[in-house]
Structure 1
């Protein structure tokens, strides 16, 4: 995983005020996951329980039960005990148990804006619950306040273009903290 210095995504819990049709720039406060909703996607599911906030984004016109692509964002609030590589290693084991013949890339570790991070790609040739192949890429980032996991999946064998889209999307994910000069948050317009 390479170190990233630019943020190309939008804040996860971003608040933009619209007054009289004009959008005003705002500064993000505290620690924020920077992740954008892909173009043409919509919020399909949102839940918050047991200290974990989750959102699932799917293409417009699809449902969370029947989707071709999905982005899942999880924020584990105040979970300073979680570590990116072991977390994704456990997910690899769960994936292997749920999908016969599955494969996984080795968990890659690195830094994202100074935070410990890890990523992995998981492939299932035929998911029993759907009867379709599924490929997913995940990035986990250990923030100072919370633990973040972003996943982009396709229910197919990805084309080279889909693979690049998934990879670039996860490379754009970051965490910032307005309290730390070394990890500043972008001004959002």
Structure 2
């Protein structure tokens, strides 16, 4: 082999970097559920001592493989529509668009006054990241109406997440 052939072979055989969302575990939380099927993954985190069936707060981290072309804004638009259909009286904040490390990011808040499945109010803050190939979503949810300090903590957590 020539030197040029070796050079091209070494370039072509380099592993393709895997896109990964870095979402730290919130203090006092534990993994309640985790699953990965193909290029799709989900992890639900709840406060220690709680479960995914009985929780007061939950952080959900999802990877939707090969769906980045949907776009972060469009994904949250669809998610907001699903919430308003599933929860009578639900309100969805305007979607805030931006960039984190050069990638499109969209964020919003959903307030469900009374979730028909649980009989409790539910509030969810979400941020969607459109990566090079995958769509990543992080949600911080409350089974209550959070106070100002709780809402700030949820938003600070979402701000700490990086792609």
Class of the TM-score when normalised by the shorter of the 2 chains: 0.7 to 0.9
Q: Which residue of 1 aligns with 2:66?
A: 78
TM-score (structure 2 length as normaliser): 0.87
Structure 2 CA distance for aligned equivalents of residues 142 and 80 of structure 1: 5
State how 1:1-189 maps to structure 2 within 5 Å. Answer: 30-49=18-37, 51-175=39-163
Q: Deviations over 1:55-98 (max 9, x none)?
A: 00000000100100000000112223220001000000000001
Secondary structure of the structure 1 residue equivalent to 2:118: coil
CA positional deviation for 1:162:
0.6
Q: Which has the larger radius of gyration?
A: 2
Per-residue deviation, 1:49: 2.3
The answer for unaligned runs of 5 or more in structure 2 is 1-16
Work out which structure has the larger RCO, using CA pairs closer than 8 Å and 6 or more positions apart in sequence.
1
SS at match of 1:164: helix
Please report how far the alpha carbon of residue 159 of structure 1 lies from its aligned counterpart in structure 2 after TM superposition: 1.1
- Considering fraction of residues, name the structure with more strand: 1
Which structure shows the higher helix fraction? 2
**Structure 1 residue runs of 4+, over 3 Å off?**
none
Q: Which one is further off, 46-55 or 159-168?
A: 46-55
Root mean square deviation of aligned Cα: 1.1
Structure-1 residue corresponding to 2:8? none
Give yes or no for contact 2:56–2:142 (8 Å, CA) kept in 1: yes
Q: How many residues align?
A: 147
